A and B are shown apart, each in its own frame.
Chain A
Amino acid sequence: MSTLIQILSPDFLLREALVGSVLVGVVCPLVGVYFVLRRMIFLGVALPQVSAAGIASSFLAYRLLVGNHQHFDLSERVLAMLGSFAFTLAALLILAAFERLGRETVEARIGFTYALAAAATILFVAFDPHGEAQMVNLLKGDILATTGTSLSVLATVYGVVTLLLFAFRKEFLLVSFDRDLAVVFGKRAGSWDALLYLLIGVTISLGVMTAGPLVTFGFLVVPPLTARLLTRRMTTFAFAAAGLGGATAFAGFYCAYVLDLPLGPAQVAVASLVFMVVATVRLLWRRAT
């Protein structure tokens, strides 16, 4: 109990890391809901990897064109953000274009994207030994290095993403559930898809920058899958996913702090444990009734 009080104290040393990881835990599932609805869950694996490749490429490009960059400088985070966002958005738009053309299967496209991004990340880092330390931090999850400034950026951007997801939820639901009906109604389905992809791209880029690809993928997918088991209506689906994400991110932080575990993996493990418990209870309940 005293540990919990300590964690919740305003003077807590890792307060930025706690708030940052809970923000990732709340907002990533709001975006992840659309991954589940559109059966694009594997995209949740590929895109954070693409984002990591974007960060590595931006460091390499900077070194080749300008020179060595300073670690832990604000410009380094801006550089990483630009690379991450550019790669993620480009990958989303290319994948969406291929989806419209209907060439190959979704799994093939996403599998290819993941393989290419993973290989590119390693190669970019290998070409840029100076960026390696930062990349290793990112791949592990750099949430403990969250500063007041980066937390403000995260809160502002995620706040805007949440507002837009709420404001345009009927349009996003319509194009995700029945795109043909959206077209029949004269809605600009392509524009709504593009806006949704933009929000997904921003969320993933910032999530990877803040918490690393593992945590971002985990919170994009696991809380929405758990919420899907608990809710029967769309209205509560997104709220339940965000609530579960925030709660498991906090519980994961608590476990990591108390048991001295790596933060990101502990948070994803707690979220996964909750999913397994809910799935098991639901299965037993169904068999009993």
Chain B
Amino acid sequence: MTDAPALALRDASFGYDGRLVLSHVELAVARGEFAALLGPNGAGKTTLLRGILGLIPPLTGTITYGVDRATRPPGYVPQRDALDAIVPLTAFEVVVMGTYARLRALRFVGRAQRALAHASLERVGLGELAQEPFWALSGGQKQRVLIARALAAEPEILLLDEPTAGVDPGATAAIMETLVRLNRDHGLTIVLVSHQLRLLRPHVRSVIWVDEGTVTKGAPETMLAPEHLLELFGVHGNHE
């Protein structure tokens, strides 16, 4: 274990189709940190997340991970609506895909990968649903299966794109409880995009704020203070 951050962006700029969305981002996420990525709609949260994941190349600057990405890629949890329900998959088959991270071409899923997939499903509390069709699960269960898939890649850092969007309060609480446990008990670094400020406030150790092309980071007490939110959103701190 080194003191190097789990994730560092130096002078990184991102954009699409020649349009600059985020410029000269300086950001470091420490190992074991639980960070919320927040900001108004259209501010560039998803752009930043996709840039960190390598899904869009930075226009300038660098992105470095605390570990070798080739051998230890980040865990990625997309929004469940980004996946197509036409693919017939069981929950277990979805989770097994996480093990592909370390499987080269022509290497097949074996006993070790199956065991890892089962263990990952158990870690999110869905072991008994392994053979259920993925698309028959509830929204919250699907999201936890996707978290299990990310865990099956054995990542050091987990990046989630609005995992609680469109999920009922009970399932939202289960997802947050899972993430808090993974961060607290397993030291997993987590960066989570969300709009639900009240939900995140008790759990996160830092807030990454994205707005008007810039990125700032601070403690939740400062970033989620009512006067700061009022300035940004025109609302008080009970914003959902």
B153 and A233 form a contact (CB under 8 A): no
Interface string of B64-76 (1 = CB under 8 A from A): 0000011001101
B97 and A176 form a contact (CB under 8 A): no
> In the complex, how many angstroms separate the beta carbon of B214 from the nearest chain A beta carbon?
25
Segment among B85-93, B164-172, B215-223 that sits at the interface with chain A: B85-93
Contact residues, A137-189 vs B (CB, 8 A): 167-168, 170-171, 173-174, 176-178, 180-181, 183-187
Q: Which residues of A contact B153 (CB under 8 A)?
A: 185
A170 and B88 form a contact (CB under 8 A): no
Contacts A180-B78, A184-B53 given; does A170 touch B87 at CB 8 Å: no
Contacts A177-B97, A234-B87, A237-B88 given; does A171 touch B55 at CB 8 Å: no
Question: Residue A266 at the B interface, CB < 8 A?
Answer: no
Q: Which residues of B contact A170 (CB under 8 A)?
A: 97, 100, 103, 108-109
Contact residues, B5-53 vs A (CB, 8 A): 50, 53
A183 and B55 form a contact (CB under 8 A): yes
A178 and B88 form a contact (CB under 8 A): no
Q: Which residues of B contact A39 (CB under 8 A)?
A: 84, 86
Contacts A183-B55, A184-B55 given; does A177 touch B87 at CB 8 Å: yes
Assembled-state Cα–Cα distance A231/B135 (Å): 13
> In the complex, how many angstroms separate the beta carbon of B118 from the nearest chain A beta carbon?
16
Q: Which residues of A contact B202 (CB under 8 A)?
A: none
Give which listed residue, A171, A174, A228, contacts B88 with CB less than 8 A: A228
> In the complex, how many angstroms separate the beta carbon of B69 from the nearest chain A beta carbon?
7
B101 and A177 form a contact (CB under 8 A): no
Closest partner residue, chain B, to A170 (CB atom): B100
> In the complex, how many angstroms separate the beta carbon of B55 from the nearest chain A beta carbon?
6
Question: Residue B106 at the A interface, CB < 8 A?
Answer: yes
Assembled-state Cα–Cα distance A228/B86 (Å): 8
Question: Residue B234 at the A interface, CB < 8 A?
Answer: no
Q: Which residues of A contact B97 (CB under 8 A)?
A: 170, 173-174, 177-178, 181
B73 and A184 form a contact (CB under 8 A): yes
Interface of A is mostly: helix
Assembled-state Cα–Cα distance A186/B89 (Å): 23
Q: Which residues of A contact B105 (CB under 8 A)?
A: 167-168, 171
Q: Which residues of B contact A36 (CB under 8 A)?
A: 86
Q: Which residues of A contact B83 (CB under 8 A)?
A: 177-178
Assembled-state Cα–Cα distance A173/B87 (Å): 9
Assembled-state Cα–Cα distance A183/B166 (Å): 26
B55 and A180 form a contact (CB under 8 A): yes
Question: Residue A37 at the B interface, CB < 8 A?
Answer: yes
Assembled-state Cα–Cα distance A174/B133 (Å): 18
Question: Residue A232 at the B interface, CB < 8 A?
Answer: yes
Interface string of A228-251 (1 = CB under 8 A from B): 100111110100000000000000
A233 and B84 form a contact (CB under 8 A): no
Q: Which residues of A contact B55 (CB under 8 A)?
A: 180, 183-184
Interface string of B140-155 (1 = CB under 8 A from A): 0000000000000100
B101 and A185 form a contact (CB under 8 A): yes
Contacts A171-B105, A174-B97, A180-B53 given; does A185 touch B90 at CB 8 Å: no
Given contacts A168-B106, A178-B83, A181-B97, 17 further A-B contacts (CB under 8 A): A36-B86, A37-B86, A39-B86, A174-B100, A177-B84, A178-B78, A178-B82, A178-B97, A180-B53, A183-B55, A185-B153, A186-B69, A186-B101, A233-B88, A233-B93, A233-B133, A234-B89
The contact sample of 22 A-B pairs, CB cut-off 8 A, is A36-B86, A37-B86, A170-B97, A171-B100, A177-B83, A178-B83, A178-B97, A180-B53, A180-B55, A181-B78, A184-B53, A184-B74, A184-B76, A185-B100, A186-B73, A186-B101, A187-B100, A232-B88, A232-B133, A233-B93, A234-B89, A235-B93
